[in-house]
Chains A and B, each alone.
Chain A
Amino acid sequence: MLKVLKPGFYTTVQDIGRIGYLNKGVPVSGNMDANAALIANQLLDNRDNAAVLEITMTGPTLVFEKETYISLTGAKLSATLNNKPITNNKVYKIYAGDILSYGKLLEGLRGYLAIKNGFLTEKLLGSRSYYYPITKERCLESNTTMVYEKCSDFSPKISPLRLKSLLGENVIKVYKGPEFYLLNDNQLASLFSKEFSVAKENDRMAYQIEENIEGLTYSMLTSATLPGTIQLTPSGKLIVLMKDGQTTGGYPRILQLTEEAICILAQKKYRDKLSFRLSVSN
Protein backbone atom coordinates (compact mmCIF):
# COMPACT_ATOMS: atom_id res chain seq x y z
CA MET A 1 0.00 0.00 0.00
CA LEU A 2 0.88 3.59 -0.45
CA LYS A 3 -0.23 6.03 2.20
CA VAL A 4 -0.82 9.74 1.73
CA LEU A 5 0.78 11.82 4.51
CA LYS A 6 0.03 15.12 2.78
CA PRO A 7 -2.22 15.30 -0.29
CA GLY A 8 -0.69 18.29 -2.09
CA PHE A 9 -2.78 20.95 -3.83
CA TYR A 10 -4.74 18.71 -6.17
CA THR A 11 -3.54 15.15 -6.70
CA THR A 12 -5.68 12.65 -8.60
CA VAL A 13 -5.49 9.11 -9.95
CA GLN A 14 -5.65 9.11 -13.76
CA ASP A 15 -5.35 6.66 -16.63
CA ILE A 16 -6.16 7.07 -20.33
CA GLY A 17 -9.75 7.85 -19.40
CA ARG A 18 -13.33 6.65 -19.47
CA ILE A 19 -14.04 5.84 -23.09
CA GLY A 20 -17.49 5.17 -24.53
CA TYR A 21 -19.90 7.07 -22.31
CA LEU A 22 -20.05 10.48 -23.97
CA ASN A 23 -23.61 9.70 -25.08
CA LYS A 24 -24.54 9.45 -21.37
CA GLY A 25 -22.88 12.73 -20.49
CA VAL A 26 -19.72 11.25 -18.98
CA PRO A 27 -16.49 13.18 -19.68
CA VAL A 28 -13.48 11.22 -20.86
CA SER A 29 -11.27 12.39 -17.94
CA GLY A 30 -7.80 10.83 -17.85
CA ASN A 31 -4.29 12.30 -17.92
CA MET A 32 -4.26 16.00 -18.84
CA ASP A 33 -0.71 15.70 -20.19
CA ALA A 34 -1.18 12.29 -21.79
CA ASN A 35 2.31 12.45 -23.29
CA ALA A 36 4.05 12.81 -19.92
CA ALA A 37 1.93 10.09 -18.33
CA LEU A 38 2.68 7.73 -21.21
CA ILE A 39 6.42 8.23 -20.82
CA ALA A 40 6.16 7.60 -17.06
CA ASN A 41 4.46 4.27 -17.77
CA GLN A 42 6.83 3.33 -20.58
CA LEU A 43 9.85 3.83 -18.34
CA LEU A 44 8.43 1.13 -16.07
CA ASP A 45 7.37 -1.09 -18.96
CA ASN A 46 3.74 -0.67 -17.81
CA ARG A 47 0.65 -0.97 -19.96
CA ASP A 48 -0.30 2.44 -21.43
CA ASN A 49 -3.48 2.39 -19.37
CA ALA A 50 -1.79 1.84 -15.98
CA ALA A 51 -3.09 4.36 -13.43
CA VAL A 52 -0.70 7.09 -12.34
CA LEU A 53 -0.92 10.04 -9.98
CA GLU A 54 -1.43 13.45 -11.56
CA ILE A 55 0.15 16.03 -9.28
CA THR A 56 -0.86 19.66 -9.65
CA MET A 57 1.36 22.57 -8.63
CA THR A 58 2.19 21.39 -5.09
CA GLY A 59 3.06 17.73 -4.64
CA PRO A 60 1.97 15.27 -1.95
CA THR A 61 4.05 13.44 0.66
CA LEU A 62 3.70 9.71 0.26
CA VAL A 63 5.02 6.70 2.14
CA PHE A 64 5.45 3.36 0.40
CA GLU A 65 4.81 0.21 2.38
CA LYS A 66 6.45 -2.33 0.09
CA GLU A 67 9.07 -2.63 -2.62
CA THR A 68 8.38 -1.33 -6.09
CA TYR A 69 9.72 0.97 -8.81
CA ILE A 70 8.56 4.47 -9.68
CA SER A 71 9.15 7.12 -12.31
CA LEU A 72 8.32 10.83 -12.42
CA THR A 73 7.56 12.89 -15.52
CA GLY A 74 5.88 16.14 -16.51
CA ALA A 75 6.23 19.29 -14.43
CA LYS A 76 9.44 19.84 -12.47
CA LEU A 77 8.33 19.74 -8.85
CA SER A 78 11.59 19.33 -6.89
CA ALA A 79 10.84 15.79 -5.76
CA THR A 80 12.88 14.09 -3.07
CA LEU A 81 13.10 10.45 -2.04
CA ASN A 82 14.00 10.17 1.66
CA ASN A 83 15.07 13.80 1.45
CA LYS A 84 17.47 13.24 -1.46
CA PRO A 85 16.63 15.04 -4.70
CA ILE A 86 15.45 12.84 -7.59
CA THR A 87 14.84 13.80 -11.20
CA ASN A 88 12.23 13.26 -13.88
CA ASN A 89 12.42 10.61 -16.58
CA LYS A 90 14.32 8.04 -14.52
CA VAL A 91 13.35 4.84 -12.75
CA TYR A 92 13.85 4.64 -8.99
CA LYS A 93 13.73 1.57 -6.80
CA ILE A 94 11.51 1.94 -3.74
CA TYR A 95 11.92 0.04 -0.45
CA ALA A 96 9.35 -0.37 2.31
CA GLY A 97 9.17 2.81 4.36
CA ASP A 98 10.55 5.13 1.67
CA ILE A 99 9.07 8.61 1.66
CA LEU A 100 8.51 10.61 -1.52
CA SER A 101 7.86 14.30 -1.16
CA TYR A 102 7.78 17.35 -3.37
CA GLY A 103 9.08 20.87 -3.09
CA LYS A 104 8.98 23.97 -5.23
CA LEU A 105 7.32 24.03 -8.65
CA LEU A 106 10.08 24.92 -11.11
CA GLU A 107 8.51 24.38 -14.52
CA GLY A 108 5.14 23.28 -15.91
CA LEU A 109 2.08 22.60 -13.75
CA ARG A 110 1.27 18.87 -13.69
CA GLY A 111 3.67 16.14 -12.68
CA TYR A 112 3.08 12.41 -13.04
CA LEU A 113 4.08 9.61 -10.71
CA ALA A 114 3.92 6.14 -12.19
CA ILE A 115 4.40 2.96 -10.20
CA LYS A 116 5.29 -0.51 -11.48
CA ASN A 117 2.03 -2.06 -12.81
CA GLY A 118 -0.04 0.98 -11.87
CA PHE A 119 -2.16 2.04 -8.89
CA LEU A 120 -4.95 -0.47 -8.34
CA THR A 121 -7.77 1.81 -7.26
CA GLU A 122 -11.39 0.99 -8.11
CA LYS A 123 -12.26 0.83 -11.79
CA LEU A 124 -15.61 2.43 -12.68
CA LEU A 125 -16.99 2.38 -16.22
CA GLY A 126 -13.68 1.01 -17.44
CA SER A 127 -11.41 3.61 -15.85
CA ARG A 128 -9.69 4.48 -12.58
CA SER A 129 -9.61 8.20 -13.39
CA TYR A 130 -10.98 10.30 -10.55
CA TYR A 131 -14.12 12.16 -11.56
CA TYR A 132 -16.61 12.99 -8.86
CA PRO A 133 -19.27 11.61 -8.41
CA ILE A 134 -18.43 8.69 -10.68
CA THR A 135 -15.57 7.97 -8.31
CA LYS A 136 -16.20 8.73 -4.65
CA GLU A 137 -12.97 10.73 -4.56
CA ARG A 138 -12.34 14.14 -6.10
CA CYS A 139 -8.64 14.16 -5.19
CA LEU A 140 -6.26 12.60 -2.68
CA GLU A 141 -6.70 13.42 0.98
CA SER A 142 -4.46 12.81 3.98
CA ASN A 143 -4.48 9.16 5.03
CA THR A 144 -5.87 7.96 1.69
CA THR A 145 -4.28 4.58 0.97
CA MET A 146 -3.79 3.04 -2.43
CA VAL A 147 -3.02 -0.54 -3.36
CA TYR A 148 -0.13 -1.49 -5.64
CA GLU A 149 1.63 -4.75 -6.41
CA LYS A 150 4.94 -5.57 -4.81
CA CYS A 151 7.81 -5.73 -7.27
CA SER A 152 11.37 -6.35 -6.14
CA ASP A 153 13.02 -7.24 -9.40
CA PHE A 154 12.75 -5.04 -12.47
CA SER A 155 15.48 -3.90 -14.79
CA PRO A 156 14.53 -0.79 -16.69
CA LYS A 157 15.12 -1.19 -20.41
CA ILE A 158 14.84 2.38 -21.58
CA SER A 159 16.29 4.43 -18.80
CA PRO A 160 17.40 7.13 -18.80
CA LEU A 161 15.42 8.38 -21.78
CA ARG A 162 16.49 11.33 -23.82
CA LEU A 163 13.19 13.04 -24.21
CA LYS A 164 11.94 16.01 -26.07
CA SER A 165 10.29 18.07 -23.36
CA LEU A 166 7.05 19.87 -24.22
CA LEU A 167 7.30 22.04 -21.10
CA GLY A 168 8.90 25.03 -22.80
CA GLU A 169 6.46 25.04 -25.74
CA ASN A 170 3.94 27.83 -25.96
CA VAL A 171 2.56 27.40 -29.46
CA ILE A 172 -0.85 25.73 -29.31
CA LYS A 173 -1.56 23.96 -32.60
CA VAL A 174 -5.20 23.83 -33.54
CA TYR A 175 -7.40 22.44 -36.26
CA LYS A 176 -10.54 24.11 -37.50
CA GLY A 177 -13.55 23.36 -35.32
CA PRO A 178 -17.01 22.75 -36.83
CA GLU A 179 -18.07 26.41 -36.45
CA PHE A 180 -14.74 27.84 -37.65
CA TYR A 181 -16.50 29.10 -40.79
CA LEU A 182 -18.42 31.63 -38.69
CA LEU A 183 -15.26 33.61 -37.86
CA ASN A 184 -14.73 36.94 -39.60
CA ASP A 185 -11.40 38.43 -40.72
CA ASN A 186 -11.05 40.47 -37.57
CA GLN A 187 -11.54 37.43 -35.34
CA LEU A 188 -9.13 35.33 -37.44
CA ALA A 189 -6.50 38.05 -37.31
CA SER A 190 -6.78 38.29 -33.52
CA LEU A 191 -6.66 34.54 -33.02
CA PHE A 192 -3.56 33.91 -35.07
CA SER A 193 -1.50 37.03 -34.54
CA LYS A 194 -2.00 37.98 -30.90
CA GLU A 195 -0.37 36.56 -27.85
CA PHE A 196 -2.75 35.17 -25.24
CA SER A 197 -2.42 34.15 -21.63
CA VAL A 198 -4.04 31.65 -19.31
CA ALA A 199 -6.79 33.09 -17.08
CA LYS A 200 -7.16 32.37 -13.37
CA GLU A 201 -10.05 30.06 -14.24
CA ASN A 202 -8.13 26.99 -15.34
CA ASP A 203 -8.60 23.42 -14.16
CA ARG A 204 -9.25 19.90 -15.40
CA MET A 205 -12.64 20.98 -16.84
CA ALA A 206 -11.58 24.00 -18.85
CA TYR A 207 -8.94 26.66 -19.41
CA GLN A 208 -10.24 30.16 -19.94
CA ILE A 209 -8.13 32.60 -21.90
CA GLU A 210 -7.49 35.98 -20.29
CA GLU A 211 -7.76 38.16 -23.43
CA ASN A 212 -11.11 38.38 -25.20
CA ILE A 213 -11.56 38.65 -28.95
CA GLU A 214 -14.60 39.92 -30.85
CA GLY A 215 -17.53 37.78 -29.71
CA LEU A 216 -19.71 35.48 -31.75
CA THR A 217 -23.46 35.68 -31.43
CA TYR A 218 -24.84 32.57 -33.01
CA SER A 219 -27.77 30.61 -31.75
CA MET A 220 -26.96 26.93 -31.98
CA LEU A 221 -28.59 23.92 -30.42
CA THR A 222 -26.67 21.98 -27.77
CA SER A 223 -24.26 19.59 -29.42
CA ALA A 224 -21.28 17.37 -28.53
CA THR A 225 -17.99 18.85 -27.31
CA LEU A 226 -14.59 17.21 -26.88
CA PRO A 227 -11.46 17.72 -24.80
CA GLY A 228 -9.44 20.36 -26.64
CA THR A 229 -12.45 22.15 -28.11
CA ILE A 230 -12.22 25.96 -28.05
CA GLN A 231 -15.58 27.64 -27.63
CA LEU A 232 -16.11 31.34 -28.35
CA THR A 233 -18.82 33.03 -26.30
CA PRO A 234 -20.96 36.03 -27.35
CA SER A 235 -18.87 38.23 -25.03
CA GLY A 236 -15.68 37.14 -26.82
CA LYS A 237 -14.28 34.77 -24.20
CA LEU A 238 -12.26 31.80 -25.40
CA ILE A 239 -12.86 28.65 -23.37
CA VAL A 240 -10.72 25.57 -24.00
CA LEU A 241 -12.44 22.43 -22.75
CA MET A 242 -10.12 19.95 -21.08
CA LYS A 243 -10.36 16.31 -19.99
CA ASP A 244 -13.14 16.70 -17.38
CA GLY A 245 -15.05 19.16 -19.58
CA GLN A 246 -18.78 18.91 -20.25
CA THR A 247 -19.71 16.55 -23.07
CA THR A 248 -22.15 18.99 -24.67
CA GLY A 249 -22.24 22.71 -25.14
CA GLY A 250 -24.06 25.52 -26.87
CA TYR A 251 -21.26 27.89 -27.90
CA PRO A 252 -19.63 27.79 -31.33
CA ARG A 253 -16.71 25.33 -31.42
CA ILE A 254 -14.29 27.38 -33.43
CA LEU A 255 -11.06 25.44 -32.95
CA GLN A 256 -9.86 22.03 -31.85
CA LEU A 257 -6.49 21.49 -30.19
CA THR A 258 -4.21 18.73 -31.45
CA GLU A 259 -3.57 15.93 -28.95
CA GLU A 260 -0.10 17.33 -28.36
CA ALA A 261 -1.46 20.84 -27.85
CA ILE A 262 -3.74 19.55 -25.07
CA CYS A 263 -0.59 18.20 -23.34
CA ILE A 264 1.21 21.53 -23.79
CA LEU A 265 -1.72 23.55 -22.43
CA ALA A 266 -2.11 21.14 -19.48
CA GLN A 267 1.31 22.33 -18.27
CA LYS A 268 0.33 26.01 -18.35
CA LYS A 269 -0.72 27.97 -15.31
CA TYR A 270 -2.29 31.37 -14.61
CA ARG A 271 -0.64 34.14 -16.68
CA ASP A 272 1.49 31.79 -18.83
CA LYS A 273 1.70 33.03 -22.41
CA LEU A 274 0.59 31.14 -25.48
CA SER A 275 -0.30 31.63 -29.11
CA PHE A 276 -2.47 29.66 -31.52
CA ARG A 277 -1.27 28.26 -34.83
CA LEU A 278 -3.63 26.75 -37.37
CA SER A 279 -2.74 23.26 -38.58
CA VAL A 280 -4.04 21.91 -41.84
CA SER A 281 -5.88 18.63 -41.48
CA ASN A 282 -5.93 15.95 -44.14
Chain B
Amino acid sequence: MNYSISIRAYGVHAILIEWPNHVKEDILEDILSFKEYLIHTCIDAKDWEVIPAYNSLTLIFRKKEIVFNKVKEQLQQWYSQKTPYIKDSFLWKLPVCYDASFGIDLKETCDVLNLSMEELIKCHTEKEYTVYGIGFLPGFMYLGGLGKELEIARRASPRPKVEKGSVGLAGKQTGIYPQNSPGGWNIIGNCPVPMFNPKEEKPCFVSVGDKVQFYRIEKKVYDLIKIENEVGVFNIEKSKIHA
Protein backbone atom coordinates (compact mmCIF):
# COMPACT_ATOMS: atom_id res chain seq x y z
CA MET B 1 0.00 0.00 0.00
CA ASN B 2 1.05 3.59 -0.51
CA TYR B 3 1.08 6.15 2.30
CA SER B 4 0.69 9.85 2.00
CA ILE B 5 4.29 11.04 2.02
CA SER B 6 5.71 14.52 2.29
CA ILE B 7 8.84 15.55 0.41
CA ARG B 8 10.75 18.57 1.70
CA ALA B 9 14.03 20.28 0.94
CA TYR B 10 16.77 19.84 3.52
CA GLY B 11 19.23 22.49 2.37
CA VAL B 12 20.43 22.12 -1.23
CA HIS B 13 22.25 18.81 -0.86
CA ALA B 14 19.56 16.76 0.83
CA ILE B 15 15.87 15.88 0.64
CA LEU B 16 13.68 14.53 3.40
CA ILE B 17 10.85 12.15 2.63
CA GLU B 18 8.48 11.67 5.54
CA TRP B 19 5.82 9.06 6.20
CA PRO B 20 3.05 9.44 8.82
CA ASN B 21 4.41 10.16 12.29
CA HIS B 22 4.04 6.64 13.78
CA VAL B 23 6.37 3.90 14.95
CA LYS B 24 4.97 1.05 12.87
CA GLU B 25 6.53 -1.92 11.15
CA ASP B 26 4.35 -1.46 8.06
CA ILE B 27 5.65 2.07 7.64
CA LEU B 28 9.27 1.03 8.13
CA GLU B 29 8.82 -1.75 5.58
CA ASP B 30 7.37 0.67 3.05
CA ILE B 31 10.30 3.05 3.60
CA LEU B 32 12.88 0.30 3.16
CA SER B 33 11.12 -1.11 0.14
CA PHE B 34 11.07 2.35 -1.48
CA LYS B 35 14.73 2.81 -0.57
CA GLU B 36 15.67 -0.42 -2.33
CA TYR B 37 13.55 0.51 -5.34
CA LEU B 38 15.29 3.91 -5.55
CA ILE B 39 18.78 2.44 -5.23
CA HIS B 40 18.20 -0.31 -7.76
CA THR B 41 16.12 1.33 -10.43
CA CYS B 42 16.05 5.12 -10.05
CA ILE B 43 19.18 6.77 -8.73
CA ASP B 44 22.89 6.21 -9.16
CA ALA B 45 23.53 4.66 -5.76
CA LYS B 46 27.18 5.65 -5.60
CA ASP B 47 26.33 9.35 -5.73
CA TRP B 48 23.57 9.27 -3.12
CA GLU B 49 23.52 8.48 0.54
CA VAL B 50 20.16 7.19 1.78
CA ILE B 51 19.38 7.16 5.49
CA PRO B 52 16.21 5.49 6.79
CA ALA B 53 14.91 6.11 10.33
CA TYR B 54 11.47 5.41 11.87
CA ASN B 55 9.18 7.38 9.50
CA SER B 56 11.69 9.09 7.24
CA LEU B 57 14.15 8.64 4.44
CA THR B 58 16.84 11.26 3.96
CA LEU B 59 18.55 11.44 0.58
CA ILE B 60 21.93 13.20 0.33
CA PHE B 61 23.57 14.24 -2.91
CA ARG B 62 26.95 15.90 -2.48
CA LYS B 63 28.05 16.28 -6.09
CA LYS B 64 26.06 19.41 -6.82
CA GLU B 65 23.01 21.34 -5.68
CA ILE B 66 19.69 19.59 -6.02
CA VAL B 67 16.99 21.23 -8.13
CA PHE B 68 14.34 20.53 -5.53
CA ASN B 69 11.09 20.87 -7.47
CA LYS B 70 12.31 18.63 -10.24
CA VAL B 71 13.56 15.93 -7.90
CA LYS B 72 10.43 16.17 -5.76
CA GLU B 73 8.20 15.54 -8.75
CA GLN B 74 10.41 12.67 -9.81
CA LEU B 75 10.32 11.12 -6.33
CA GLN B 76 6.54 11.37 -6.16
CA GLN B 77 6.29 9.62 -9.46
CA TRP B 78 8.73 6.91 -8.42
CA TYR B 79 6.85 6.39 -5.18
CA SER B 80 3.51 5.98 -6.96
CA GLN B 81 4.90 3.50 -9.46
CA LYS B 82 7.28 1.58 -7.18
CA THR B 83 7.17 -2.16 -7.16
CA PRO B 84 7.67 -4.03 -3.89
CA TYR B 85 11.36 -4.49 -3.42
CA ILE B 86 12.34 -6.67 -0.53
CA LYS B 87 15.87 -6.79 0.73
CA ASP B 88 16.92 -9.69 2.93
CA SER B 89 16.85 -8.67 6.51
CA PHE B 90 18.09 -10.67 9.46
CA LEU B 91 17.19 -11.61 12.98
CA TRP B 92 20.33 -11.30 15.12
CA LYS B 93 20.54 -13.15 18.43
CA LEU B 94 22.73 -11.22 20.81
CA PRO B 95 24.02 -12.50 24.15
CA VAL B 96 23.48 -10.39 27.25
CA CYS B 97 24.94 -11.01 30.68
CA TYR B 98 22.56 -9.70 33.35
CA ASP B 99 25.13 -10.20 36.11
CA ALA B 100 24.92 -7.55 38.83
CA SER B 101 28.47 -6.42 38.01
CA PHE B 102 27.15 -5.19 34.61
CA GLY B 103 23.50 -4.53 35.37
CA ILE B 104 24.20 -1.69 37.76
CA ASP B 105 20.57 -0.50 37.69
CA LEU B 106 19.01 -3.96 37.49
CA LYS B 107 17.86 -4.14 41.08
CA GLU B 108 16.46 -0.62 41.13
CA THR B 109 14.75 -1.18 37.78
CA CYS B 110 13.10 -4.36 39.08
CA ASP B 111 11.86 -2.46 42.13
CA VAL B 112 10.40 0.38 40.05
CA LEU B 113 8.75 -1.99 37.57
CA ASN B 114 7.61 -4.33 40.33
CA LEU B 115 9.17 -7.36 38.65
CA SER B 116 11.49 -10.05 39.96
CA MET B 117 14.87 -10.25 38.27
CA GLU B 118 13.83 -13.47 36.56
CA GLU B 119 10.64 -11.88 35.25
CA LEU B 120 12.50 -8.85 33.95
CA ILE B 121 15.08 -10.96 32.12
CA LYS B 122 12.32 -13.17 30.69
CA CYS B 123 10.42 -10.12 29.37
CA HIS B 124 13.58 -8.61 27.92
CA THR B 125 14.70 -11.76 26.12
CA GLU B 126 11.39 -13.08 24.76
CA LYS B 127 10.67 -10.28 22.28
CA GLU B 128 12.15 -9.64 18.87
CA TYR B 129 13.00 -5.95 18.58
CA THR B 130 12.93 -4.06 15.31
CA VAL B 131 15.84 -1.80 14.34
CA TYR B 132 14.10 1.49 13.47
CA GLY B 133 17.24 3.54 13.12
CA ILE B 134 20.99 3.67 13.68
CA GLY B 135 22.49 6.88 15.03
CA PHE B 136 23.47 8.83 18.15
CA LEU B 137 26.78 6.91 18.17
CA PRO B 138 28.36 4.67 15.50
CA GLY B 139 26.49 1.36 15.70
CA PHE B 140 23.81 2.52 18.17
CA MET B 141 20.47 0.88 17.33
CA TYR B 142 17.10 2.47 18.02
CA LEU B 143 15.09 -0.64 18.89
CA GLY B 144 11.32 -0.73 18.93
CA GLY B 145 8.90 -3.32 20.29
CA LEU B 146 9.66 -3.21 24.00
CA GLY B 147 6.94 -4.70 26.18
CA LYS B 148 4.87 -2.24 28.24
CA GLU B 149 5.96 -3.92 31.46
CA LEU B 150 9.57 -2.80 30.82
CA GLU B 151 8.84 0.88 30.18
CA ILE B 152 10.75 2.98 32.67
CA ALA B 153 11.76 6.64 32.74
CA ARG B 154 15.33 7.67 32.05
CA ARG B 155 17.51 8.18 35.10
CA ALA B 156 17.02 11.59 36.69
CA SER B 157 20.57 12.59 35.84
CA PRO B 158 22.68 10.96 33.15
CA ARG B 159 25.93 9.22 34.06
CA PRO B 160 29.11 10.78 32.70
CA LYS B 161 30.29 7.35 31.60
CA VAL B 162 28.35 4.25 30.64
CA GLU B 163 30.52 1.23 29.74
CA LYS B 164 30.73 -0.05 26.16
CA GLY B 165 28.31 -2.94 25.60
CA SER B 166 25.91 -1.77 28.32
CA VAL B 167 22.30 -2.78 27.68
CA GLY B 168 19.77 -0.26 28.85
CA LEU B 169 16.09 0.59 29.17
CA ALA B 170 14.56 4.05 28.69
CA GLY B 171 10.97 4.91 27.85
CA LYS B 172 9.75 2.67 25.05
CA GLN B 173 13.30 1.74 24.08
CA THR B 174 16.01 -0.75 24.81
CA GLY B 175 19.48 -0.71 23.29
CA ILE B 176 23.21 -1.30 23.52
CA TYR B 177 25.84 1.41 24.05
CA PRO B 178 28.38 0.63 21.29
CA GLN B 179 31.16 2.57 23.05
CA ASN B 180 31.86 4.26 26.36
CA SER B 181 29.59 7.27 26.46
CA PRO B 182 27.65 9.54 28.77
CA GLY B 183 24.10 8.24 29.09
CA GLY B 184 20.89 8.32 31.05
CA TRP B 185 19.46 4.88 30.41
CA ASN B 186 18.87 2.30 33.14
CA ILE B 187 21.62 -0.29 32.70
CA ILE B 188 20.49 -3.89 33.15
CA GLY B 189 23.29 -5.91 31.54
CA ASN B 190 26.12 -6.03 29.02
CA CYS B 191 26.51 -7.52 25.55
CA PRO B 192 30.02 -8.88 24.83
CA VAL B 193 29.62 -8.60 21.04
CA PRO B 194 31.02 -5.31 19.67
CA MET B 195 28.34 -3.46 17.69
CA PHE B 196 30.85 -1.45 15.70
CA ASN B 197 34.29 -2.29 14.33
CA PRO B 198 35.96 0.44 12.25
CA LYS B 199 38.54 -2.05 10.91
CA GLU B 200 35.89 -4.06 9.09
CA GLU B 201 34.73 -3.16 5.61
CA LYS B 202 31.19 -3.45 6.97
CA PRO B 203 31.78 -1.83 10.35
CA CYS B 204 28.29 -2.56 11.69
CA PHE B 205 26.60 -5.89 10.93
CA VAL B 206 23.08 -4.63 11.70
CA SER B 207 20.96 -2.60 9.25
CA VAL B 208 17.75 -0.66 9.74
CA GLY B 209 14.87 -3.12 9.31
CA ASP B 210 16.71 -6.03 10.94
CA LYS B 211 15.50 -7.58 14.16
CA VAL B 212 17.36 -8.26 17.37
CA GLN B 213 16.61 -10.73 20.12
CA PHE B 214 18.63 -11.00 23.30
CA TYR B 215 19.50 -14.24 25.12
CA ARG B 216 20.79 -14.62 28.62
CA ILE B 217 24.35 -15.75 29.30
CA GLU B 218 26.29 -16.29 32.50
CA LYS B 219 29.44 -14.38 33.39
CA LYS B 220 31.69 -17.32 32.41
CA VAL B 221 30.19 -17.45 28.93
CA TYR B 222 30.46 -13.66 28.68
CA ASP B 223 34.21 -13.86 29.33
CA LEU B 224 34.55 -16.66 26.78
CA ILE B 225 32.67 -14.72 24.07
CA LYS B 226 34.88 -11.68 24.73
CA ILE B 227 37.96 -13.81 24.07
CA GLU B 228 36.38 -15.49 21.04
CA ASN B 229 35.63 -12.05 19.62
CA GLU B 230 39.16 -10.83 20.16
CA VAL B 231 40.60 -13.74 18.19
CA GLY B 232 37.81 -13.51 15.62
CA VAL B 233 36.16 -16.91 16.06
CA PHE B 234 32.80 -15.86 17.54
CA ASN B 235 29.91 -16.16 15.13
CA ILE B 236 26.77 -14.21 15.84
CA GLU B 237 23.65 -16.31 15.44
CA LYS B 238 21.51 -14.92 12.63
CA SER B 239 18.61 -16.02 10.47
CA LYS B 240 16.97 -14.56 7.39
CA ILE B 241 13.63 -12.88 7.92
CA HIS B 242 12.46 -12.64 4.29
CA ALA B 243 13.44 -16.01 2.88
Interface residues of A (CB under 8 A from B): 19-26, 124-125, 133-135, 175-178, 181, 219-224, 226, 228-229, 246-249, 253, 256-258, 281-282
Contacts and interface: CB of A to CB of B under 8 A. Distances in A.
B138 A224 contact: no
- The secondary-structure label for the interface of chain A is loop
A23 B49 contact: yes
Given A24-B203, A133-B179, A222 B10 contact: no
A226 B10 contact: yes
Interface in B1-27: 8-14, 16, 18, 21, 23
Chain B, interface size: which category?
35 or more
Q: Which 6 A-B pairs have the closest CB atoms?
A: A248-B135, A256-B11, A224-B58, A221-B54, A178-B16, A24-B204
A224 B11 contact: no
B111 to A, nearest CB: 29
Given A178-B8, A282-B68, A26 B203 contact: yes
B142 interface: yes
Nearest to A247: B135
A177 B142 CA distance: 23
A223 B54 contact: yes
B53 A224 contact: yes
A221 B171 CA distance: 14
Contacts of B136: 25, 246-248
- Tell which of A25, A133, A248 has the most Cβ of chain B within 10 Å: A25
B67 interface: yes
Contacts of A246: 135-137
B198 interface: yes
B148 interface: no
B62 interface: yes
Contacts of A229: 11
A220 B23 CA distance: 11
A24 B54 contact: no
B167 interface: no
A224 B56 contact: yes
A46 B141 CA distance: 38
Contacts of A135: 198
Nearest to A131: B138
26 contacts: A22-B51, A22-B60, A24-B203, A25-B204, A26-B138, A125-B198, A133-B198, A134-B198, A175-B11, A177-B11, A221-B54, A221-B56, A222-B53, A222-B54, A223-B53, A224-B56, A228-B11, A229-B11, A248-B53, A248-B133, A248-B135, A253-B10, A258-B11, A281-B12, A281-B68, A282-B65
